[in-house]
């Protein structure tokens, strides 16, 4: 609440259910708050996600794109969406593989989704610069305006690579308990 009182308007959450519990009442009282889903979105949570979030940073499949589109139509709401790219081809991480990105982007735009940019989370054990730089190149190639990358440990490198959205929650709020 001190950040909201100070005028901060953009907040991120990793989980849909936590966001509903923490933000439903707060958003009713503060209409200018933008809530960002930065964690993976499962298709069974799309209806709840579209209802509470203003941004989704983790679109990674055509199936999910269609579900988001259908839900937006049902709720008469249009949100801002980032496509998550798995730049390092990590098996345990979400995100579309780079060779499949163009098809997902074209499909999503064809549905009328508001794709604002790309997002990535590089491997924690590697230098993130190469991944951020490559994502910036892809973002530019597709003419997208926003770039979601960088967290508490690497946000300065992300900013040098033109990130427009960074996720620095643990630097502000501390580690999750």
State the pTM of this model.
0.94
pLDDT in tens, 19-71: 999 999 999 999 999 999 999 999 999 999 999 999 999 999 999 999 999 99
Taking the C-alpha atoms of residue 36 and residue 142, their distance in angstroms, rounded to an integer, is 22
Give backbone dihedrals phi and psi of 43, rounded to 5 degrees, phi first. Answer: -60, -30
Write the CB contacts of 131 (distance below 8 Å, at least 6 apart in sequence): 87, 88, 120, 122, 123, 149
Domains observed in the chain: 2-173 (3.20.20.10)
Taking the C-alpha atoms of residue 51 and residue 53, their distance in angstroms, rounded to an integer, is 6
Q: Look at 90 and 58; give whichever has higher pLDDT.
A: 58
For residues 154-172, average pLDDT: 89
């Amino acid at each position: 609440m001190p950040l909201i009182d100070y005028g901060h308007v953009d907040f991120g959450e990793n989980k849909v259910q936590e966001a509903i519990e923490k933000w439903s009442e707060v958003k009713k009282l503060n209409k200018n708050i933008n809530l960002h889903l930065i964690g993976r979105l499962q298709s069974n949570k799309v209806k709840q996600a579209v209802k509470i979030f203003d941004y989704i940073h983790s679109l990674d499949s055509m199936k999910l794109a269609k579900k988001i589109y259908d839900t937006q139509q049902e709720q008469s709401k249009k949100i801002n969406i980032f496509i998550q790219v798995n730049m390092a081809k990590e098996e345990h991480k979400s995100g579309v593989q780079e060779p499949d990105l163009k098809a997902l982007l074209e499909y999503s735009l064809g549905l009328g989704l508001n794709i604002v940019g790309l997002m990535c989370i590089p491997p924690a054990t590697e230098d993130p610069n190469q991944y951020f730089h490559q994502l910036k190149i892809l973002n530019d190639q597709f003419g997208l305006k926003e770039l979601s990358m960088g967290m508490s440990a690497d946000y300065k490198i992300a900013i040098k690579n033109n990130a427009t959205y960074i996720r620095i929650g643990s630097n502000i709020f501390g580690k999750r308990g």
